[in-house]
């Protein structure tokens, strides 16, 4: 790659970042890091009507949470700022005027009402109104009006927009790193607005000018921007600037059926669609996902390593990532797989760090004076984490380590509790009480020897014993439970359980 790699993530602060937006940011980040380049965040806030307060902070927080911070952007000056388009407002007009001077753009005075009338008129005939070469001379603009008339209108302060004069009869050959060559006939394009009557550029003009001024080498963005590529290429050509390389990422598709993944799919399927909570919508972070899991599953939505490997931390993603392994076709979103990834990353965490995350959850379930010390919680985590997808699952899987059962699974109790069971359990309690070498393995060998000596079946003892200690037939290895609960607590539970079940 000849020039320095500089990529940008250019969201409009119109709301929270959709998970697809995070994927775009991630691919930009990976590409930048792979090539020792810069990852720029540019806030595209030229559309004042759609501006949402808090959205920019949200975007930045989401990138940081994912562990993919930008190198340059708002608050991180890198010599190409400012990085909010609203703060660059004054520099765009001269480029629009340059295009007018060169004959690549023109003033248009058609009022919104007039245009709306044309649109409706066309619709009524089953057609679509397009403002371009075939009708621009019949509309009210600096191509159809005399120079004096245009001057008078401008001087009198009449509202205008500046439109791009799309060339006629050209076959464009556009290049996309993922899709190859895309051919477009310029006659199907409309004369897009570049500059608006409110003195602001539109997305198209500001985006091109900024990518040029910020020396962006590669534009990696969602497929929904592919229809803009022709205009963007034409703008680069008109300015005489070298265009960056383009890569349009495939859409993220619904888990079932056709179409793009939407907020509605998340609500229906019970999975987050935003990285962080936004208003009522719970985010991945708040739902208990680890950022490593989110990054890993997002990376594989549309990119593949060319091998069977599925687990990638950020460093190995940077190492393996390339645009030529990004697919053209949409990537189906699989909520089950996201849980699978979280499960994987949870298993990688140390028991100690999981215990730290679990402690506040625990406080929500039990009285402050019943909260055990960290060492105990850490041991519990070690016994139960294997079945957890999320830190919060640890409560469901291991609540009996923190409180004695107050009820017993009825169905299981019926099956386990027979004539003579309480007598056997009293003996087991005695045996436990007599055990001095307090470890899971000695408890196991003592109790098993005792069972064999009496020619009892293991099931006759183990099931009821588990019921008494846990209240159910669930939980990890029984002797690990006894060892961790301790002698006093185990015996208490056996004794009060016998009373309750008898
Ligand atoms: N502001 C556009 C967006 O919201 C940027 C598209 C692009 O990357 O060119 O996604």
Going from N- to C-terminal start, the domains of the chain cover 89-249, 404-502
Q: Which of 25, 86, 203 for mutating ligand 1's site (highest number of atoms within 8 Å of CB)? A: 203
Q: Determine the atom of ligand 1 nearest the C-alpha atom of 12.
A: 4
Q: Which of 263, 337, 349, 474 is catalytic?
A: 263
Distance 225 CA to ligand 1 centre (A): 7
Residues with Cβ within 8 Å of residue 306, at least 6 apart in sequence: 325
For ligand 1, say whether the CB of 225 is within 6 Å of any of its atoms.
yes
The ligand 1 atom at the shortest distance from the C-alpha of residue 228 is 9
Ligand 1 pocket check for 44: Cβ under 6 Å: yes
Q: How many residues in total does the chain contain? A: 502
Atom of ligand 1 nearest to the CA of 203: 1
Whose alpha carbon is nearest atom 3 of ligand 1? Answer: 11
CA of 12 to the centre of ligand 1 (A): 7
Largest CA distance in the chain: 113
What is the torsion angle, in degrees rounded to the nearest 10, for the CA atoms of residue 364, residue 365, residue 366 and residue 368? Answer: 0
Would you say 282 and 272 are in contact if contact means Cβ atoms under 8 Å apart? yes
- Report the separation in Å between the CA atom of 115 and the middle of ligand 1, taken as the mean of its atom positions: 26
Half-sphere exposure of 319 (CA within 13 A, CB side): 5
* Ligand 1 touching residue 450 (CB < 6 A): no
CA of 335 to the centre of ligand 1 (A): 26
Q: Ligand 1 centre from 160 Cα, in Å?
A: 25
| Residue 206 to residue 330: CA distance in whole angstroms | 28
**Nearest to 218, CA basis, from 29, 20, 21, 17:** 29
Return the closest-CA partner of residue 376 out of 405, 395, 351, 408.
351
Ligand 1 atom at minimum distance from 8 CA: 8
Task: Give residue 182's pLDDT.
Answer: 98
Closest CA to 191 of 275, 135, 270: 135
Specify the residue for token string 């506040």.
Answer: 360
Task: Give the Cα separation of 380 and 365 in Å (integer).
Answer: 16
Give the pTM.
0.93
Residue to substitute in 40, 83, 211, 221 for testing ligand 1 pocket (most ligand atoms within 8 angstroms of CB): 221
Work out the percent of the chain whose per-residue pLDDT is above 90.
Answer: 96
The dotted CATH code for 89-249 is 3.90.800.10
CA of 219 to the centre of ligand 1 (A): 10
Of 17, 27, 44, 83, the residue with max ligand 1 atoms within 8 A of its CB, to mutate for a pocket test, comes to 44
| 18 and 263 Cβ atoms separated by less than 8 Å | yes
11 Cβ below 6 A of ligand 1: yes
Ligand 1 centroid–CA 320 distance in Å is 26
- 218-to-1, 41, 182, 242, 322 alpha-carbon distances in Å: 11, 14, 17, 11, 13
**Cα 396 to ligand 1 centre (Å):** 43
Alpha-carbon distance of 330 to 24, in angstroms, equals: 14
User: Candidates 7, 8, 12, 15: which one to mutate for ligand 1, based on the most atoms within 8 Å of Cβ?
Assistant: 12
Structure tokens at 198: 């409110």
Catalytic annotation present for 460: no
Atom number of ligand 1 nearest to Cα 219: 8
404-502: CATH topology is Arc Repressor Mutant, subunit A (1.10.10)
Alpha-carbon distances, residue 495 vs 313, 457, 458, 500 (angstroms): 49, 22, 20, 9
Q: 207 CB under 6 A from ligand 1?
A: yes
Question: From the CA of 438, how far away is ligand 1's center (Å)?
Answer: 63
d(CA 381, CA 455): 35
| Residue 394 neighbours by CB under 8 Å, 6+ apart | 354, 358, 361, 380, 381, 384, 385, 388
The predicted pLDDT at position 1 comes to: 58
The verdict on the CB of residue 15 being under 6 Å from ligand 1 is no
End-to-end alpha carbon distance in the chain:
78
Closest ligand 1 atom, CA of 10?
Answer: 5
Please report the atom of ligand 1 found closest to the CA of residue 44: 1
Report long-range pairs for 375-381 (Cβ below 8 Å, ≥24 apart).
Answer: 376/401, 376/484, 378/351, 378/352, 379/351, 379/484, 380/355, 380/484, 381/351, 381/354, 381/355
Pocket test for ligand 1, best of 6, 10, 229 (most atoms within 8 A of CB): 10
The residue contributing the CA closest to ligand 1 atom 10 is 11
Counting as low any pLDDT under 50, the low residues of the chain are none
């Amino acid at each position: 790659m000849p020039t320095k790699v500089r990529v940008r993530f250019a969201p409009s602060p119109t709301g929270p970042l959709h998970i697809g937006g995070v994927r775009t940011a991630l691919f930009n980040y990976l590409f930048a890091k792979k090539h020792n380049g810069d990852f720029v965040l540019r806030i595209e806030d030229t559309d004042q009507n759609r501006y949402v307060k808090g959205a920019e902070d949200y975007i930045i927080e989401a990138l940081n949470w994912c562990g993919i911070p930008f190198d340059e952007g708002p608050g991180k000056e890198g010599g190409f700022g400012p990085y909010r388009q609203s703060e660059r407002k004054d520099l765009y007009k001269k480029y629009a005027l340059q295009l007018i001077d060169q004959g690549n753009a023109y003033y248009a005075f058609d009022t919104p009402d007039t245009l709306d009338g044309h649109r409706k008129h066309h619709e009524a005939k089953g057609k679509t109104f397009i403002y371009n070469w075939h009708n621009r001379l019949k509309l009210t603009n600096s191509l159809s009006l005399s120079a004096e008339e245009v001057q008078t209108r401008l001087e009198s302060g009449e509202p205008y927009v500046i439109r791009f004069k799309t060339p006629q009869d050209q076959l464009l050959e556009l290049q996309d790193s993922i899709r190859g060559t895309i051919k477009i006939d310029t006659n199907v394009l409309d004369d897009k607005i570049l500059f608006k009557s409110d003195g602001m550029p539109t997305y198209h003009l500001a985006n091109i000018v900024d990518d040029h001024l910020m020396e962006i080498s590669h534009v990696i963005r969602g497929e929904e921007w592919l229809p803009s590529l022709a205009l963007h290429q034409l703008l680069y050509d008109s300015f005489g600037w070298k265009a960056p390389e383009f890569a349009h990422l495939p859409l993220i598709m619904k888990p079932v059926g056709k179409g793009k993944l939407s907020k509605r799919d998340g609500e229906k399927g019970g999975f987050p669609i935003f990285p962080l909570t936004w208003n009522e919508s719970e985010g991945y972070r708040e739902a208990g996902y680890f950022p490593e899991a989110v990054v890993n599953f997002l990376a594989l939505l549309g990119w593949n390593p060319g091998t069977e490997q599925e687990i990638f931390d950020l460093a190995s993603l940077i190492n393996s990532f390339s645009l030529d392994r990004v697919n053209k076709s949409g990537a189906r979103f699989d909520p089950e797989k996201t849980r699978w990834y979280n499960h994987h990353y949870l298993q990688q965490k140390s028991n100690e760090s999981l215990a730290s995350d679990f402690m506040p959850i625990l406080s929500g379930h039990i009285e402050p004076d019943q909260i055990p010390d960290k060492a105990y919680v850490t041991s519990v985590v070690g016994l139960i984490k294997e079945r957890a997808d999320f830190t919060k699952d640890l409560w469901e899987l291991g609540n009996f380590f923190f409180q004695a059962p107050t009820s017993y699974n009825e169905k299981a109790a019926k099956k386990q509790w027979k004539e003579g069971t309480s007598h056997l359990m009293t003996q087991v309690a005695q045996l436990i009480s007599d055990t001095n070498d307090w470890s899971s393995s000695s408890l196991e060998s003592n109790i098993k020897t005792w069972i064999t000596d009496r020619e009892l079946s293991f099931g006759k003892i183990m099931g009821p014993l588990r019921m008494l200690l846990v209240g159910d037939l669930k939980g990890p290895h029984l002797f690990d439970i006894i060892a961790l609960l301790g002698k006093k607590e185990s015996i208490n539970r056996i004794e009060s359980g016998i009373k309750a079940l008898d």
